[in-house]
Amino acid sequence: MSSTAEIVAQCQALYEDLDFTAARAWKAAKPGRKVVGFLPVYVPLEIIHAAGCLPLGIFGGGDSLEVIHGDAYYQSYICRIPRSTIELGVTKRLDFVDGMLFPFVCDVIRNLSGIWKMMFPNVWTKFFDTPQNFDATIGGSYYMKELDELREGLEKLVGHKVTDDDLRRSITLYNENRRLVREVYAFRAAKPWQAPTSEVYLLMRAGLMMDVAEHNQMLKDYMAAADKEDRPKRDNVRVAIYGSFCEQPPLNLIKSIEMAGCYVVEDDYALINRFLMSDVPTEGNPIEGLAMTYIKASVETSCKYVPKEEDKGMYHVQRVRETGAEGVIYATPSFCDPALLDRPMICHRLTEANIPYIAFKYAENSGQMQPIREQAGTFADSIKLWS
């Protein structure tokens, strides 16, 4: 059995490989295979998988990609992820990707879908909308049609039907993935010294670049290995991190927060694998199952409207309580409208619930970690002092 270090090394290699060698190899292994890229925050991976495609998470270029062309497409006051994604495209790193899904998250990714259509006319490119009306008969029935359209688009791409049974099989695998993912996060919340976030993060990011069945096995292996290892427990404070659901921070930022004396016990990094909070029914109409789970049991995050004022931010408060976090770090990408417009509202709720927080901004290519380490360290100290 592999050790956590071996599993994490495998994940890190995938995460760092901006040529996507593994996904290329997956595609080359059988003739006719297709790869469908997707951006944050949420697309129903089950449908892509059911079509026989590999869903490939495209989360920008991180801090190792040198952006040369991308800057010519975006003004200085726009976040990093669209420009580094363009860079990946222009430098042909995504030339094996047959389809690209741009989910609704904000106007930047929305507009990027149009740029992609113009720049890469041979790629099947789709803006994927999720409803902001959460009534089953209104938003729900609209969403079912949207999902049907997505299924039809994929059918065209692969040249065969995607049956309900195909969908049910994929839903079963993704239900298992969601369960295992929840288990890993619960394990981290219970014993954060045994499963540091800098590891868990890589484990989850890697999962968005490989076949789901393989990832399920990896999650099981990781948990078994992490449980066996005896790692020193430090006198760290327990924090939740919010605001990082789209453009991802560099790995060093996560490590810096940990080194500053924080155990991250909750976060919204690469939220897609926790976006649906319950199993999708495998009985009945699978499209309806996917749609209604989104309507009734998806997380609160900035790319969704919260219909009731009293509910706003309560998801965060509840998760802080459930995971035993002692404070919140609201860490957002610079120029990120969704996270930054939401920040005052979420922070009001945290204040009402007596949950301390700090806020700062980052970019996927932030280099200087010293200020962040100091801020997080001071925050940890102040929590220790007052708790």
Partner 1 sequence: MSDVVKEKSMLMQKEMIARNYEAITSKHETGRKVSSTFVPGNLNELLMCFGIVNNLPEINAIQSGMRKVSGNYIQEAEKRGHSEDVCTYVKADIGQMSRGNIAPNGKPFPDPDVLLLSYTGCYTFMKWFELLREEYKCPTLMLHVPYQGDGHSTKTMRDYIVKQLKEVVIPGLEQVSGVKFDIDKLREFLRNSAKAEDDLVWCLEQGKIKPSPIDAYFGGVYYIGPIFTAFRGTTDAIEYYKALKAEVAERIRLKQGPTTPDGTPFNDQKYRLVVEGPPNWTNFREFWKMFYDEGAVVVASSYTKVGGLYDQGFRHDAENPLESLADYCLGCYTNLNLPSRVDLLTKYVEEYEADGLLTNSIKSCNSFSAGQLMMMKEVERRTGKPGAFVESDLVDPRYFSAANIKNRLESYFQMIEQKRRGSGKAA
The listed partner (partner 1, ligand SF4, none) that binds 334, CB under 5 to 8 Å by sort, is partner 1
Touching ligand SF4, residues 241-260 (CB under 6 A): 246-247
3-state secondary structure of 34: coil
Residue 353 sits in the site that holds partner 1 (CB under 8 A): no
* DSSP calls for 143-173: HHHHHHHHHHHHHHHHTS---HHHHHHHHHH
Residue 333 sits in the site that holds ligand SF4 (CB under 6 A): yes
Touching ligand SF4, residues 62-91 (CB under 6 A): 79, 81
Strand order in the sheet with 357-362: 262-267, 237-242, 327-333, 357-362
Residue selected from 337, 360, 361, 382 as contacting ligand SF4 according to rule CB under 6 A: 337
Residue 5 sits in the site that holds partner 1 (CB under 8 A): no
Among residues 314, 332, 324, the alpha carbon closest in space to that of 238 is found at: 324
Assess contact for 109 and 80: CB atoms under 8 A. Answer: no
Q: Tell me which stretch binds partner 1 (CB under 8 A): 13-21, 29-37, 71-79, 170-178.
A: 71-79
Among residues 149, 180, 190, the alpha carbon closest in space to that of 274 is found at: 180
Of 46 and 247, CB closest to ligand SF4? 247
Residue 371 sits in the site that holds partner 1 (CB under 8 A): no
The listed partner (ligand SF4, partner 1, none) that binds 352, CB under 5 to 8 Å by sort, is none
State the residue for tokens 């610079």.
334
Residue 66 sits in the site that holds partner 1 (CB under 8 A): no
The listed partner (ligand SF4, partner 1, none) that binds 44, CB under 5 to 8 Å by sort, is none
Q: How far is CA 73 from CA 61, 69, 97, in A?
A: 15, 7, 21
Structure tokens, 236? 């760290």
| Beta-bridge partners for 327 | 239
Residue 25 sits in the site that holds partner 1 (CB under 8 A): no
The residue length of the chain stands at: 387
Residue selected from 340, 356, 358, 360 as contacting partner 1 according to rule CB under 8 A: 340
Q: Compute the distance between CA of residue 178 and CA of residue 239 in angstroms, rounded to an integer.
A: 22
The listed partner (partner 1, ligand SF4, none) that binds 343, CB under 5 to 8 Å by sort, is partner 1
Residue 68 sits in the site that holds partner 1 (CB under 8 A): no
Q: Where are the alpha helices (DSSP H) in 230-387?
A: 251-259, 286-297, 314-323, 337-352, 370-386
Residue 22 sits in the site that holds ligand SF4 (CB under 6 A): no
Among residues 88, 360, 334, 365, the alpha carbon closest in space to that of 252 is found at: 365
Of 65 and 108, CB closest to partner 1? 108
Residue 280: phi, psi to the nearest 5?
-90, 130
Of 106 and 154, CB closest to ligand SF4? 106
3-state secondary structure of 242: strand
Residue selected from 2, 3, 10, 334 as contacting partner 1 according to rule CB under 8 A: 334
Distance of CA 300 to the CA centre of its chain: 14
Of 140 and 192, CB closest to partner 1? 140
Binding residues for ligand SF4, per CB under 6 A?
Answer: 79, 81, 105-106, 108-109, 246-247, 333, 336-339
- Kindly list the residues in this chain that would bind partner 1 in the complex (CB under 8 A): 72-75, 77-78, 82, 102, 104, 106-108, 110-115, 117-119, 126-129, 131-133, 135, 137-139, 141-142, 145-146, 149, 302, 305-307, 309, 312, 334-338, 340-345, 347-348, 361
